[in-house]
Structures are given as C-alpha cells and as structure tokens.
Structure 1
Amino acid sequence: MPKIPVYFVPGLAASTRIFEYIQLPESLFNVHYIDWILPEPDDTIASYAERMCAPIPKNVEVVLVGVSFGGIMVQEMASFVKIKKIIIISSVKSNQELPAAMHFAKATHFYKLLPTSWLGKINYLARYAKGKSIIAKQIKLYNKYLYMKHTQYLDWSIKNIIHWNRTVADSRVIHIHGDSDMVFPIKHIKNCITIHGGTHIMIITKFKWFNEHLPQLILE
C-alpha cells in the first residue's frame, strides 16, 4: 500500500517548526511541510494559494493540514490539487466563523492601522526580556516559531483573513478546535472536533492528542 502524502501549513507568519512534536507513523505517511512565501503585489488569496501548491504533485491525492491562517490557506489550496482529506486546526471554515472584532476591522478598515512591523523586532526584544516572566516566555516562544517577518507578507495576510469571502463551509473539511481558543472563539465555530483546554497554539501544547488521533482521522 503506497504511503499517504500529508502536507502541513503553519499559522500566520509561523515556521513549520510548530509541527516539530507531531509524529505520524512513517509506515503509513509521507510527511511534508510548506513554508510561507512572499505575496506578489497583485496576489489574490486564490493566486497565492496556487503558488503555495508548487511543491505538491498534481497526479496524486494528498492530505492538507493547516493551522490558523494555514487552515484558511489549505482550503484555498484544495482547488488546485487532488484532495484526500482537508484538516484544519485552530482555524475557521468560512467568514461566518470569524469573531466580531474581525468583522469590525473589515467594516472600519482598522486593520490597516496595525503596526505589523513590530514582529520584525522580536529578536531585538528578546535581548531585554529576561528571566521567567510571562512576557519573557511569550517572546521566547514567538521568537522560536516566527518565520515570515516581512511587513509585505503580514499586511497581505491580515487583509486576506479579514476579507476572506468564503461564506459556506467546504463539507470535506475536518475541523479541530480548542474550547479555549482566544483568536477564533469556540462560540463562533460549528461542526468541529472540540479539544478541551485547547488554545490557539494547541498544535504545540496538545501534540499528544494529535499524534494519537490524526492518523485515524486521515485513514477513516
């Protein structure tokens, strides 16, 4: 039996290192990771998704797994490759599941005022955030997993999350969501596998659950 190719896409600006604790049986799966790329000035979310599919062979069914914005992206990528399964984690299936704050940001264009350039200064901040404080731990975590710091990417990504035009969920999507997710609160999410105590970064903090259940979710 041929191994099933599984492609993982991380969250907004994140490195594929967020999947470092995820282990699928090597006898069953070929695991691949797709890094973020810089958007072109005229990229739509669809054209960007098509370019993200460049490493994926077009003649074989694949599993796409995306976290947060990566979850939105794999749903868009599904239009350009043969799909066996689409699995999203800590994400949304349509713009109907976005929180009220994001709808407000869309209506007011407030997102354009966000100082995304601060993410590029994480290394600088890390020098001064010492010790065991919560802030120091958070900055250390962001610094470890941050990959794409370009303002061009961040501005484009935030705009395309807020303006995502999918109104009806793709019935093929398997949605895994934490009941303590503060980015995409569970009260807006429908038809998902709920992880008790799962936060927006549960791909890291609840990796044991994913290692136990992902294989079966893919195979069934």
Structure 2
Amino acid sequence: MSKIPVYLMPGLAASTAIFERIALPEDTFEIHLLEWEIPLDKESLADYAKRITEKIKHPNPVLIGVSFGGILVQEMAKYVEAQKVIVISSVRSNLEFPRRMKIAKTTKAYKLIPMKLIANIESLAKFSFGEKVNQRLKLYEKFLSVRDIRYLNWAVEQVILWNRTVVDENVIHIHGDMDDVFPMKYIKNCIVVKGGTHIMILNKYKWLNENLPSIILGTEKK
C-alpha cells in the first residue's frame, strides 16, 4: 500500500524546524516539508501559492499549514487536488481575524510597521508566535529563519489583505483555546486543543502526534 504524502507548511517567517517533533506512523504516512521562498516582485498570494504548489510531487497530498502557512495551503488547494487540507493555529476566512487586524487593513497601518525592527529576533518571535513567547531567544532564532525584509513586508501584507470571506467547510481547523494571535472567540467550528497557544506546533506536539493520524484518515472520534 502506498503511503499518504503529507506536506507541512510552517508559519510566517518560520523554518521547517518547527515540525521537528511531529512524527506520524511511517508505515502509513510520508512527511514532506515545504519552505518559504522569497516572493517575486509584486507577486500575488495566488501566484505565490501556485509557485509553491510546484514543489508537490505526489498526487492527492494532505496539506497541513500553520498560521500564515495555513492561509497559504488553502490557496494552494486551488491548484492541486488535495485529499485533505488541515490548518493549525490559523483561520479559514478573514472574518475570523481579530479586530486589530481588521483595523490594520482599513487604516493600512500595517504599512507603517518598521520591518527592519521586526526582523530582530525578539520582535519577530512576538510577531509570529504571539505575545506569550518566553525569552528563549536562541530557540526562536532556530525556528524563525526567514528574515528577508522583502519577504516580511510581503507576508504581513498578504495576511492582512487576505480576501477569503467564505469558509471552505472541507478544510479541517485545529486551534488552541489560548491562542493570542487568532483568539478563540473569533474562530468558528474547529477542533479545540485545550491549553494550546499560537505555538502549539512546538509545545502540543504530543497531542498532534496522537490525533493527526485519525484526523487525516477521518477516523477520529466525534
């Protein structure tokens, strides 16, 4: 029996190191890691998604994305026949954005964010992982490796301006009830991970390793 190809996309500015503790049964699943590329000049999210989709080498893959990576895999699903799309610590439409992100869109305040400052590891950790990050900055340096200013400018704009308003009900959403980037009160219809923060891919990996196989196979207990 051929294995199920599972492609993992990290969050904003994050490297594939965030998945180092994710382990799925090797007799059933085959994990492939996707990485952020530097966007082309004025590249749209749709074109970028199409470009990353070219890295998928298997038919009927499972796409799993974390945070902004979750937004990206939903866009990628327009160009590849995915057997399942799963988002973790993310949103399924811009209606699930917190108020501050909606205000940033209306006022274009995101254009005023000094990306040079955000590119320093402490700011980037707070920006990408949420305010609750602790001070283990050496650790975050490993996880947040994409610090190209063009990429950061582009990525922040793509998140804020994401225009999806209708949820694709086929997309499975796993979310922590302590997420401070995308607070739970704005999120509809998700699998809730108790105590999960925005970085639960790092610290709730045991829950994910136990539950992802049945979620992918559709055999999880309802």
Structure 1-normalised TM-score? 0.91
Per-residue CA deviations over 1:131-187 (Å, capped at 9, x if unaligned) read: xxx8642x2232120121011011111111111000001111000000000000000
1:16 corresponds to:
16
AA partner of residue 76 (structure 2):
M
1:39 corresponds to:
39
AA partner of residue 101 (structure 1):
R
2:25 corresponds to:
25
Aligned residue for 1:83, secondary structure, equals: coil
Aligned residue for 2:202, secondary structure, equals: helix
Distance 2:112 2:185 in 1: 27
Structure 2-normalised TM-score? 0.90
Deviation at 1:120, TM superposition (A): 3.5
Alignment of 1:67-106 (within 5 A): 67-106=66-105
Does 1:7 find its partner at 2:7?
Answer: yes
1:192 corresponds to:
190
Aligned residue for 2:83, secondary structure, equals: strand
AA partner of residue 212 (structure 1):
E
2:128 corresponds to:
none
Q: Give the CA RMSD over aligned residues.
A: 1.4
2:210 corresponds to:
212
**4+ residue runs of structure 1 moved beyond 4 angstroms?**
none
Deviation at 1:53, TM superposition (A): 1.0
How many residues are aligned here?
A: 208
What is the percent sequence identity of the aligned residues? Answer: 53
1:149 corresponds to:
147
Does 1:121 find its partner at 2:104?
Answer: no
Deviation at 1:119, TM superposition (A): 4.1
Aligned residue for 1:7, secondary structure, equals: strand
Aligned residue for 1:112, secondary structure, equals: helix
Deviation at 1:40, TM superposition (A): 0.9
- Gaps in structure 1 of 5+ consecutive residues: 124-133
Per-residue CA deviations over 1:55-108 (Å, capped at 9, x if unaligned) read: 113x61000000000000000000111110000000000000000000000111
1:162 to 157, 160, 163: 160
Deviation at 1:26, TM superposition (A): 0.7
1:126 corresponds to:
none
AA partner of residue 204 (structure 2):
K
Distance 1:30 1:82 in 2: 17
